[in-house]
Amino acid sequence: MRESNRFRKMIWLVSVLILDASGSPLHAAETDRISVAIQCDPAKVVGSDTCTKCHENEMRVWHETPHFATFDTLHRKPEAKAIADKLGLGSVKRNETCVKCHYTQQQVDTRVRVVSGVSCESCHGAAKEWLELHADYGGPNLTKADETPEHRQQRVSKSVAAGMNNPANLYLIARQCLGCHTTPNEELVNTGGHNAGSREFELVAWSQGMVRHNFLQTNGTSNAVAAQEELRAMFVVGLMADLEASLRATAKATTKGLFGTTSAKRAATLKQKLYYVSQQIENPDVEDAVQAALSVPLKLNRSQELEAAAATVGKAARAFAETVDGSTLGAIDPLLPSPEQYRGKK
Ligand code: HEC
Ligand code: HEC
Ligand code: HEC
Ligand code: HEC
């Protein structure tokens, strides 16, 4: 990168880090504020029991996580009831707000029911339209060993087109994590008193501890931590997806309250981190994301610009995840969390 360019970026960085939450409230539609993009379409959810047949190992891991447990525990917690009460909501399990992030709904005939906590499909996408094709090696009697690389490639891209958040492109999954873990709902935080997102979230640490399920690589014999090259890519994808979600959350803020300031600070921190990464590696997608984030002030009343910047960051993240070669990212190794920091590691 040319020095002049680098210098210009520094100036930008200093100017945009001065958080300013002044300005008049946005006029975001009520529904827009409440909604989060991460919910599965209940009509397309098949339920985790369907996955168990072929993915018993992954299922066992999931059963040990708070994602699974929240189904039985959340509604019993006084803190949960207190939040729901402050928002004037009834049963924790039966209101659209809590259900979006804590549960999975499935429609059977005309009835929509809550069937589990944060499930396989919350992260991998509602499966009705991709279930069959994701597991087809190219014919009824073929096995993994018979599958050609071309067929594998096609299987992955078809599954993605049918709505699967396939780990072949980690951004698709990271986007889901951050859609919940930034809690982009102002009323939930400011009025309900819910945590303003998981402030320590970082994709490597949070996916490689208790949540980790990585069996295919070893044909089911062990739950391996991803390879160093993959962890590097995952780290950068996590920063970009978090930056995107934090910009979107900032765009939704209508007041200087806890939600708005936390979201803006989160976006500012991520912008700084990604900027630092862009100085360590040469990558056009990371560069695009940094430029987009630097171009917009983290202020109230800028929701359109913030959303547009977020969209550019998301697009860059997706392209990065699609094309990156982790072996070129060695310079960021010092930034990666150590295994001791993996969240809830056993
Ligand atoms: C009929 C068996 C079967 C069922 C049911 C099934 N899977 Fe799979 N799944 C497979 C096979 C086979 C693979 C490919 C493994 C490989 O890479 O060789 C796979 C791979 C995956 C992958 C890795 C990405 C990929 O495409 O290789 C994910 C994620 C996944 N399945 C999620 C799920 C989820 C979520 C469900 C339930 C909604 C599910 N699967 C149900 C057989 C199944
Ligand atoms: C936008 C996503 C989102 C929505 C909507 C949401 N939550 Fe949460 N909630 C989370 C996340 C993510 C966590 C974990 C936060 C963390 O890292 O500490 C959490 C944690 C909690 C906790 C703390 C859990 C514990 O183990 O102590 C409670 C209580 C809670 N939520 C209640 C609710 C209630 C009640 C509602 C509905 C009024 C709700 N949440 C709606 C995302 C959400
Ligand atoms: C549909 C919303 C949703 C998605 C998607 C989601 N989470 Fe969560 N996650 C939650 C909620 C809600 C909790 C807290 C559950 C509780 O304690 O009741 C949680 C808890 C966790 C925890 C436990 C935190 C702790 O230490 O207590 C980890 C780790 C975690 N999530 C990681 C991830 C990762 C990594 C991803 C993406 C690969 C992800 N989550 C995707 C909603 C979600
Ligand atoms: C919190 C989000 C989350 C949930 C819930 C989740 N996954 Fe995953 N899944 C991921 C991520 C992230 C990866 C990529 C893992 C990696 O590289 O460490 C992945 C990878 C996979 C893979 C390929 C790696 C392997 O060999 O296991 C399969 C298969 C899979 N998931 C199936 C499932 C099934 C089945 C469930 C439900 C029992 C499930 N997942 C629940 C996020 C999730």
pLDDT tens digit sequence for 282-292: 999 999 999 99
> Mind listing the pLDDT tens digit for each residue in 182-237?
999 999 999 999 999 999 999 999 999 999 999 998 888 999 999 999 999 999 99
Residue 30: CB atoms within 10 Å: 8
- CA dist., res. 247 & res. 135, Å (int): 36
Whether the CB of 343 sits within 6 Å of ligand 4: no
Q: How many CA atoms lie within 13 A of 37 on its CB side?
A: 14
> Mind listing the pLDDT tens digit for each residue in 63-96?
999 999 999 999 999 999 999 999 999 899 989 9
- Whether the per-residue pLDDT at 247 is higher than 50: the answer is yes
Q: 38 C-alpha to center of ligand 3: Å?
A: 13
- Give the residue from 266, 238, 240 showing the smallest Cα distance to 251: 266
Residue 91: CB atoms within 10 Å: 10
Length of the chain: 346
Q: What is the pLDDT of residue 81?
A: 96
- CA dist., res. 62 & res. 81, Å (int): 25
Amino acid at position 14, single letter: V
- CA dist., res. 80 & res. 7, Å (int): 48
- CA dist., res. 345 & res. 66, Å (int): 13
CA dihedral over 205, 210, 215, 216, signed as positive or negative? negative
- Give the residue from 180, 294, 280 showing the smallest Cα distance to 235: 280
Q: Which of 177, 185, 194, 200 to mutate to test the pocket of ligand 3 (most atoms within 8 A of CB)?
A: 177
- CA dist., res. 9 & res. 292, Å (int): 11
> Mind listing the pLDDT tens digit for each residue in 33-61?
323 356 799 999 999 999 999 999 999 99
Higher pLDDT, 7 or 26: 7
- In this structure, the residues whose C-beta lies within 6 A of any atom of ligand 1 are 46, 50-51, 53-55, 120-121, 124, 127, 131, 134-135, 144, 156, 159, 166-167, 216
- Whether the per-residue pLDDT at 10 is higher than 50: the answer is no
- Whether the per-residue pLDDT at 8 is higher than 70: the answer is no
pLDDT band at 261 (very low <50, low <70, confident <90, very high): very high
- Whether the per-residue pLDDT at 15 is higher than 70: the answer is no
Which class for 301: exposed (0-12), middle (13-18), buried (19 or more C-beta within 10 A)?
middle
Q: What is the pLDDT of residue 346?
A: 66
Q: What is the pLDDT of residue 274?
A: 98
The mean pLDDT value for 286-312 works out to 97
- CA dist., res. 28 & res. 34, Å (int): 10
Q: Which two tokens stand for residue 99?
A: 């259900």
Q: What is the pLDDT of residue 34?
A: 29
Q: What is the pLDDT of residue 90?
A: 87
What's the chain's average pLDDT?
90
Q: Which of 101, 103, 206 to mutate to test the pocket of ligand 2 (most atoms within 8 A of CB)?
A: 101
Ligand nearest to the CA of 132: 1
Percentage of residues in the chain having pLDDT higher than 90: 83
Q: What is the pLDDT of residue 331?
A: 98
Whether the CB of 271 sits within 6 Å of ligand 2: no
Q: What is the pLDDT of residue 11?
A: 42
- Whether the per-residue pLDDT at 28 is higher than 70: the answer is no
pLDDT band at 140 (very low <50, low <70, confident <90, very high): confident
Q: How far is CA 107 from CA 69, 70, 110, 114, in A?
A: 21, 20, 6, 9
Instruction: Yes or no: say if 174 and 167 are a contact pair by the CB < 8 Å rule.
Output: no
Whether the CB of 65 sits within 6 Å of ligand 2: no
Instruction: Yes or no: say if 41 and 126 are a contact pair by the CB < 8 Å rule.
Output: yes
- CA dist., res. 171 & res. 149, Å (int): 22
Q: 102 C-alpha to center of ligand 2: Å?
A: 7
pLDDT band at 345 (very low <50, low <70, confident <90, very high): confident
Instruction: Yes or no: say if 16 and 267 are a contact pair by the CB < 8 Å rule.
Output: no
Higher pLDDT, 56 or 32: 56
